[in-house]
A and B are shown apart, each in its own frame.
Chain A
């Protein structure tokens, strides 16, 4: 189905009205207030704000809505907020698929994650631009969502082509169609969207040509200590890369109370921090920076893959964007891979 961009935004504005839909909050990417920065941040929608659904991924990963940086798990009591997130990108939805397996599985259900996951509706949008660090195509991704959304929007001029990804999405589309003028997508629109998508993929290939490294990630494990030492020389171990990573989910539990009661607060942790795996008495399996640095790469490309059958890197490039030392994740993977010959 096709809807005018203007009508779609009117629909979102209507969604802010509880009598129209039971959403409590609509969240979507807004451009940075600093005109020098071409960045987008997930922001709660207001009647007067300006938003951009179509550029590239936001600075903040989608995971923060589900795996919050800090949340009380015990006693459990999560706010009953129904949220509509608009403008999620393909890379973040792939990441969410990894997190879903980690946080909701047969052995374990995280009450917070599961609460937010069930109370949130996701509308994805195609990327019509790429950020300098975007490299989803290097990790098997695409600059548009293939799964994991309730609805997906592909922009063509002043209209959106809407595709449905779930029953929840279908209901939302029905509501949209009841209130606004929508037409079935003609073949011409479909092929124009395909063409646009291919063009973005071409841009990604062009941007990342120098970082291509094949997909034999076992080379990361066999590469020697001296290579990891060299790559991690400028790393200060701040942990920003892991906190902003859409698939990192390491957590710590803290007892945040002064009273004689049991309170467990779950916070994000980072394997890059020195004290991460240190045990009482001082022992640590990774006391050196290069070991922790290496661990992150192995986790993304090997450990997560063996646990979930998917790479832990979706190529969003946020770690590179945020790194205070200017370390380019893609460059490291490429450099390390080159130190080991491919066994054919």
Chain B
């Protein structure tokens, strides 16, 4: 009988320090873990604990996986001590995916902030695999300060695509740091939107406060409830709807999400907490 609690051992083969608080673990699981972009996995540090994280690599690669993680609690403290060669464990994938078929032929907006760029990078890299399928991809990425920006090295590469528009903004530029892109909350980039909000999809991921105001702003600009895709992050302990920590009203963030449309969850209580 299949044990749902089973862990697939994986070896860290590279660690990329993206920013002072965010790093990407590049891992090679003992056997491939096929996932769909938007789904998440549970990452175990042996003897310490586990937590839900969304892969940040393309879903066309299942032999290896990138997982971008911010240092913010007990388990992630240990994630940030991990070294290449260390073993971690993976369970999953769990949850719902981004509905790529609904983005085909559309002008897709991706709005993300902070470590919320992790699942969005996975989505973006997956879209780039057959980028001609999409009319255009607008990616608005936010960070607190220039040094908090992640995936720095890839940005130049991403901007080379004809139908990709990649804009970044930082909340503040501290003295001593240089920045020649936008300054302000990521939602201020929406002013530069040059696509039709009423008939196109938008994907939002970021810290809860950014998700909330990002969604509110998208609605103001004319996006429709059912076209706004949110990656809800709750305390997804088990990943398969058993532990009940991630309950959002009638939904489990782990099983019915993490990808929800705003239309699905707008009437549930405390979704942004």
CA distance A108 to B2 in the complex (A): 10
Q: A250-B243, A269-B245, A279-B234 are in contact. Are A262 and B51 (CB under 8 A)?
A: no
Contact call A253/B233, Cβ cutoff below 8 A: no
Bound CA span A257–B48, Å: 8
Known pairs A252-B237, A262-B44; A277 contacts B5 (CB<8 A): no
Residues of B within 8 A of A76 (CB): 3, 5
Cα A266 to Cα B46 in complex, Å, equals: 15
Tell me if A109 and B246 are in contact (CB < 8 A): no
Is the C-beta of A309 less than 8 angstroms from some C-beta in chain B?
A: no
* Closest chain A residue, CB of each to CB of B252: A307
B120 touches A (CB below 8 Å): no
Which residues 187-244 in B have Cβ within 8 Å of A in the complex? 208, 233-235, 237-238, 240-244
A103 and B241 alpha carbons, distance in the complex (Å): 10
Assess whether A330 is interfacial by the CB under 8 Å rule. no
Identity of the chain B residue whose Cβ is nearest the Cβ of A76 in the assembled complex: B3
Docked Cα-Cα span, A277 to B244, in Å, equals 9
Dominant SS among interface residues on chain A: loop
Complex formed: what's the CA distance from A284 to B250 in Å? Answer: 17
* In the complex, B62 has a CB within 8 A of chain A: no
A258 pairs with B47, CB closer than 8 A: yes
Q: Is the interface of B mostly helix, strand, loop or mixed?
A: loop
Find out whether the CB atom of A251 lies under 8 angstroms from the CB atom of B73: no
Q: Are B244 and A250 in contact (CB under 8 A)?
A: yes
B1: Cβ under 8 A from any A Cβ: yes
Decide: A251 and B3 in contact? CB cutoff 8 A.
no
Q: Contact between B245 and A74 (Cβ–Cβ < 8 Å)?
A: no
Say whether A119 faces chain B, with CB atoms less than 8 Å apart.
no
Q: Give the contacts of B153-198 with A (CB-CB under 8 A).
A: none
Contact B241 A107 (CB under 8 A): yes
B237 and A253 within 8 A (CB): yes
Q: Kindly list chain A residues whose C-beta atoms are within 8 Å of the C-beta of B250.
A: 303, 306
| A261 smallest CB distance to B (angstroms) | 6
- Is the interface on chain B under 10, 10 to 19, 20 to 34, or 35 or more residues? 35 or more
Nearest CB in chain B: distance from A95 CB, A: 16
Q: Report how far A264 CA is from B91 CA in the complex, Å.
A: 12
B47 lies within 8 A of A283 (CB):
no
One of B7, B75, B233, B248 near A74 (C-beta < 8 A): B7
Interface string of A271-293 (1 = CB under 8 A from B): 10000111111011111000000
Residues of A close to B237: CB separation below 8 A = 251-253
Q: For chain B residues 57-97, which have a beta carbon within 8 Å of chain A?
A: 72-76, 87, 89
In the complex, A103 Cα to B247 Cα: how many Å? 17
Please judge, given known A-B contacts A108-B4, A262-B7, A286-B270, whether A277 and B245 are in contact too, CB under 8 Å: yes
Are B46 and A260 interface neighbours, CB within 8 A? Answer: yes
- A22 CB-CB contact with B under 8 Å: no
Question: Taking the nearest CB of chain B, how far is it from the CB of A254, in angstroms?
Answer: 7
Per-residue contact bits, chain A 92-115, to B (CB 8 Å; 1 contact, 0 not): 000000000011000111110010
- Chain B residues in 8 Å Cβ range of A284: 273
Q: Are B242 and A102 in contact (CB under 8 A)?
A: yes
Interface: B20 (CB within 8 A): no
B6 CB-CB contact with A under 8 Å:
yes
User: Known: A262-B44, A306-B250. Contact between A280 and B76, CB under 8 A?
Assistant: yes
Residues in chain B near residue A251, CB distance under 8 A: 237-238, 242-244
Among A76, A281, A284, the one with the most B-chain Cβ atoms within 10 Å of its Cβ is A281
Contact flag A260-B47 (CB < 8 Å), given A280-B76, A285-B273: yes
A-B residue pairs, 7 tightest by C-beta: A280-B73, A262-B7, A73-B5, A285-B273, A285-B270, A280-B72, A74-B5
Given contacts A73-B5, A249-B242, A260-B46, 17 further A-B contacts (CB under 8 A): A74-B3, A107-B241, A107-B255, A108-B242, A110-B4, A250-B244, A253-B243, A255-B48, A262-B46, A279-B234, A280-B74, A280-B76, A283-B208, A285-B248, A286-B273, A287-B273, A306-B250
